[in-house]
Amino acid sequence: MSTTIQNTTSPLFGSTEASATPAAPKSALDQNAFMKLLIAQLSHQDPLQPQDGSAFVAQLAQFSAVEQAQAQTQKLDLLSQQLASIGSNDAVNLVGKTVSIQAKSIAFDGVTATGASVTLSAPAAKVSVQIQDASGNVVRTIQLGSRPAGAMPIAWDGRDDNGQIVPKGAYGFAVTATDGVGATVPVSQQVTGTVTKVSFDKGYPEMLLNTGATAPISDLISVGSLPGLP
């Protein structure tokens, strides 16, 4: 809106003198600033070519619509903050609850990768994790050595096999495990445990289970109570 008014070739106001432009222009005009600028421009109009009334009304209507849109945007931002606060409170209430999480993918924001976990059905002598991009290409292979049966957290630093930071995005992962004689150990991408902590340091709620597994709250499958409690 402010750009249209200050344009020296505006079909509504014609040429504008430098004195009509505020000394410290704002990114958006409020109502008072708009009216002051409007009066200044009208007072400097060419008396032989007065402003067209219909264009004048249209300009006022346009300003009113922009002002209403800005007010709606502010209300939506406030609502978004309130919803985020409610979501954080709900996440905190998960502490002490028995939950099941599904490890689907790992999200990387360019700095930190989300945590993921899987469950080994039996002890494994060798565990390997392959991080895959959206096209299924393996960007990183992580050797984890021997692991006991149960939940196993997967940590990734966001680098490929050459040590380079990968682009932001969602990455899949595949876990293979074998026992001491080379037989395959079944791996489940579902992990069950008790939430001991919920952290927000990554910008989203992340659960820490008593098994050591970590996962963002978006990977939550089901929630129950502690054994023996209602």
Sequential DSSP letters for 6-64? H-TTBTTTB---GGGS-SS--SS--HHHHHHHHHHHHHTS-TTSPPPHHHHHHHHHHHH
The per-residue pLDDT for range 101-156, each reduced to its tens digit, is 877 678 888 888 877 788 899 999 999 999 999 888 999 999 999 999 988 888 89
Question: What SS3 class is residue 73?
Answer: helix
Give the per-residue pLDDT at 175: 93
Strand order in the sheet with 138-147: 106-108, 169-178, 124-132, 138-147
Beta bridge partners of 107: 170
Taking the alpha carbons at both ends of the chain, their separation in whole angstroms is 59
Q: Mean pLDDT over all residues of the chain?
A: 75
Q: Which range is most confident: 1-10, 132-141, 203-212? A: 132-141
Task: Look up residue 185 and give its amino acid.
Answer: V
> Among residues 202, 92, 218, 98, which one has the least CA distance to residue 155?
202
Task: Look up residue 223 and give its amino acid.
Answer: V
Find out whether 16 and 43 touch, Cβ atoms under 8 Å.
no
Task: Look up residue 41 and give its amino acid.
Answer: Q
How is residue 63 written in tokens?
């300003």
Give the per-residue pLDDT at 165: 95
Dihedrals phi, psi of 100, to nearest 5 degrees: -120, 135
Q: Percentage of the chain with pLDDT > 90?
A: 23
Question: What SS3 class is residue 120?
Answer: strand
Which residue in the block uniquely carries the two structure tokens 């360019």?
Answer: 110
CA distance 205 to 209: 13
Find out whether 99 and 206 touch, Cβ atoms under 8 Å.
no
Question: Which domains, ranges and CATH numbers included, belong to the chain?
Answer: 2-89 (no CATH), 98-224 (2.60.40.4070)
